[in-house]
Structure 1
Amino acid sequence: MNAAIEPTTGSARTKNLVLATWVSAINFWAWNMIGPLSTTYAGDIRLSSTQASMLVATPILVGSLGRIVIGSLTDRWGGRVMFIAVSLASIPPVLAVGAAATAGSYPLLLVSGFFLGIAGTVFAVGIPFVNSWHEPARRGFATGVFGMGMVGTALSAFFTPRFVNWFGLMGTHVIVAVALALTAVLCVATMRDAPAFHPNTDPVVPKLKAAAKLPVTWEMSFLYAVVFGGFVAFSNYLPTLIKTVYGFSAVDAGARTAGFALAAVLARPVGGALSDRIPPKYVVLVSLAGTALMATVAAFEPPPDLWSAVTFIALALFLGVGTGGVFAWVARRAPAKSVGSVTGIVSAAGGLGGYFPPLVMGATYDPVGNDYTIGLLLLVATAVIALVFTAVRLHTREPDAAKGAPV
């Protein structure tokens, strides 16, 4: 009987993992719609470097903080309901951003970008959803595959400027809004929660308090703020950096940013799979060391196009491996009934890690030397601090948060 059931279970597991990854991708595209066009907005609306940075960073902030609540709601309602809800709730802000940009209003763009952050909360839905479909030994790989939904940032960086040229500013936002709506319909028709999922009907606030008391929550939050925050920050701000330093057009800068995001996306499941086979600590250590090294190289502004490409692609690979490694670590240690709450806090920290760097980069930009040296060196320092923390304070075999046993 089990032999007859297993193929169906395996097929359902794969189908729902693919669906979840797609939902993540289209929402990440929506979340990142301002970044690829930020230099265009800066020129059309005459924004300062700080104003442009604030415009890029605002959706990141809301998408990050919103994950805390969305993660707990996922524990209660399940991934299917929350995937549908987030996709539908992201449609009005996408259209509002298009309308505000068409009108050339910076205040309206900021307000619309605030609500656009809803799309960024999708990550806190996917991790508990995927966890419930997979046994512990496969969760590192599975969450890594789901994390490939970050490819939405690459799609946005590459296609959004081109869509604007082909279909116009408002038309581009309408296309993405329609894609979100069709994605929600697809989830209604075909997505299912795992048989192992059991709703946690405890009130949200006590659940968050309980998750906040777990050491794993804050340890992983710090590490994820560095690796995922670095990815988010560069995915959003790299078009500005490339255009400013190297003088590329918005389309060319977007294409290069897409390459950065794609490299990180492909590296994420590698980090997760490695963490299924070796202690995640070692995966994270390599990620942090590589990040510090490549950020140092980037601070010296390697010449285009080969050496700058190698530098930023290598940086993306190290960051991507780290994101997979950190969440494989979370999946090992978080109590099963609190995965959503822990994930919400950790992923919020990751998003917040991506909120501040664009502001720092804008504030520390040297217009005389036309460089971002100070901002990049601050990334180096942060990665080194995280490296030392991981090496000294975290152990290869951590105590399980639920049982107190080593894992």
Structure 2
Amino acid sequence: MSAPAVAVRVPRGAYTNLILAALGFLLTAWAWGLISPLSAYYKSHLGLSSVQQSVLVAVPVLVGSLGRIPVGALTDVLGARRMLPAIAFLTIVPVLLLTVARDSYPAMLVVGFLLGIGGTPFAAAIPHGNGWFPPTKRGMALGVIGMGMGGTAIAALLTKPMREIGPNAQFYLCAAVLAVYGVVAWLVLRDPPGRTVPAEPFSRRFTDAARQPMTWPLSGLYAVTFGGYVSFAVYLVTYLQSQYGLEQGDASLKAAGFTLVAVLFRPPGGWLSDRVGAAKVLSVCLAVLAVMAAWQAFAPPLYPWATFTFLVMAAMLGAGAGAVFSLLAQVMPGPKVGAVTGIVGAVGGLGGFVPPLVMGAVYGATGSYTIGLLLLALVALGALAYTWSQRNRRPAVDASPAPPLPKTR
């Protein structure tokens, strides 16, 4: 007779720490996304071209993406218990600077650069959640953390009502909430039981992470899924205003709906990947994404076709991003997750930096978004071809034991 399966227990405090990590990413992502819903205002107020507007929107994405590499490495050493509240406090600075920088394009670029700090906690929250949960539950846990990207939806949803209160009302509110979170996180967050501090220097850990066989394929897949989500999250308001003539408030609400759908589908993407395989889930997501992007390239009517198309694309991007990190949690040993997450998260974020620039340049040159959306469809098909080729390959599952349960007094 075969030995009975041993139930894997989740350590005490795991869910509290998971929620706090996801909340930290959510609130800093709110700050990270403050410029995008106002991009049309800044374009008009500062007399910007389409390319300059795209650059203003994309700069926080670039910095937040590249910043995940050092944040992931620092998290390996210092732990998310220190990193998450520290990043929350640091993000307050550029949020408050938004109240005085709106009359200067160079000043706005500097503030956008600093706002990139708000996009980096992902690289701290992912290894934190990974350390608290056993391998069989990490897809779900990392999907919950990924829901933190819904912070960009908060920025979009609050833009219109908060501006009716005052032009800087949302900035002050965001700064206050970040301050409260920073204090709570500092007092309540705990590092995973059994967490070990790597003895190797950052350069060696980064090189080792970069040499892992799956690091760069995962990075490319995340650039398509998460990068696609980010690019729409920051550029969809501009697209809807230019393509369909929507007012800022209406476009912001629709962009927020896109973000919320993507966020809600991320945990199911990780959950399904734990059960049927990440490559299979991701293949379906990429196939549907390619079809929807090709269809939207021809600018169907906003109601109902374009609305339906963007909601389906949001679901596929969210679930696909969850599948990518479910796979990462399976194939990477625990001590390397922080460094690898930094690389994968950085490349994924860069996937969100490039499309807004391409879309702005294409629209400025042709007056149409057709070429940009067709390029998205082609990239999704390329990612699908690779993912489908890996569907039967069994990943080298992290065989490290589940973290020990904390002792009770």
Q: Same fold (TM over 0.5)?
A: yes
Distance 1:215 1:162 in 2: 48
Distance 1:401 1:92 in 2: 39
Distance 1:294 1:143 in 2: 26
Distance 1:96 1:212 in 2: 36
Task: Answer whether contact 2:226 2:317 (CA < 8 A) is retained.
Answer: yes
Distance 1:234 1:37 in 2: 15
Supply the RMSD in Å over aligned alpha carbons: 1.7
Q: CA deviation at 1:400?
A: 4.7
Distance 1:217 1:8 in 2: 27
**Which AA in structure 1 matches 2:323?**
G
Give yes or no for the alignment of 1:373 onto 2:374.
Answer: no
Q: CA deviation at 1:255?
A: 0.2
Deviations 1:321-371 (A, max 9, x none): 100000000000112111000000000011000000000000001576x42
Q: CA deviation at 1:106?
A: 0.5
Match in the other structure for 1:74: 75
Q: CA deviation at 1:59?
A: 0.4
Match in the other structure for 2:3: none
Match in the other structure for 1:136: 135
Aligned counterpart in structure 1 of residue 312 of structure 2, from 311, 314, 319: 314
Match in the other structure for 1:214: 212
Q: CA deviation at 1:247?
A: 1.0
Q: CA deviation at 1:396?
A: 3.1
Distance 1:146 1:15 in 2: 12
Give yes or no for the alignment of 1:35 onto 2:36.
Answer: yes
Task: Answer whether contact 1:334 1:402 (CA < 8 A) is retained.
Answer: no
Give yes or no for the alignment of 1:64 onto 2:61.
Answer: no
Match in the other structure for 1:341: 339
Within 5 Å, give how 1:354-393 maps onto structure 2.
354-365=352-363, 370-392=367-389
**Which AA in structure 2 matches 1:28?**
A
Deviations 1:138-178 (A, max 9, x none): 0000100111111111111111233122232x232121111
Give yes or no for the alignment of 1:175 onto 2:180.
Answer: no
**Which AA in structure 2 matches 1:229?**
G
Point out where structure 1 has 5 or more consecutive residues left out of the alignment. Answer: 1-5
Task: Answer whether contact 1:28 1:153 (CA < 8 A) is retained.
Answer: yes
Distance 1:331 1:86 in 2: 24
Name the one with the larger helix percent.
1
Q: CA deviation at 1:201?
A: 3.7
Match in the other structure for 2:124: 125
**Which AA in structure 1 matches 2:19?**
V
Task: Answer whether contact 2:51 2:364 (CA < 8 A) is retained.
Answer: no
Match in the other structure for 2:50: 49
Q: CA deviation at 1:8?
A: 9.7
Match in the other structure for 1:3: none
Change over 3 Å in CA distance of 1:197–1:160 after alignment to 2? farther
Task: Answer whether contact 1:139 1:328 (CA < 8 A) is retained.
Answer: yes
Once the two structures are overlaid, the 10-residue window that deviates more, 155-164 or 185-194, is: 155-164
Where 1:198 maps in the other structure, the secondary structure is coil
**Which AA in structure 2 matches 1:235?**
A
Match in the other structure for 1:115: 114
When normalised by structure 2's length, the TM-score is 0.93
Change over 3 Å in CA distance of 1:336–1:9 after alignment to 2? closer
Task: Answer whether contact 1:28 1:152 (CA < 8 A) is retained.
Answer: yes
Deviations 1:98-129 (A, max 9, x none): 3211xx11010001101110110010011100
Once the two structures are overlaid, the 10-residue window that deviates more, 158-167 or 177-186, is: 158-167
Give yes or no for the alignment of 1:280 onto 2:281.
Answer: no
Aligned counterpart in structure 1 of residue 253 of structure 2, from 255, 265, 286: 255
Where 1:81 maps in the other structure, the secondary structure is helix
Q: CA deviation at 1:85?
A: 1.2
Match in the other structure for 2:264: 266
- Alignment: residue pair count: 393
Task: Answer whether contact 2:25 2:125 (CA < 8 A) is retained.
Answer: yes
Distance 1:147 1:76 in 2: 22
**Which AA in structure 2 matches 1:154?**
A
Task: Answer whether contact 2:330 2:396 (CA < 8 A) is retained.
Answer: no
When normalised by structure 1's length, the TM-score is 0.93
Give yes or no for the alignment of 1:195 onto 2:190.
Answer: no
Q: CA deviation at 1:393?
A: 5.2
Point out where structure 2 has 5 or more consecutive residues left out of the alignment. Answer: 1-7, 401-409
Distance 1:223 1:157 in 2: 27
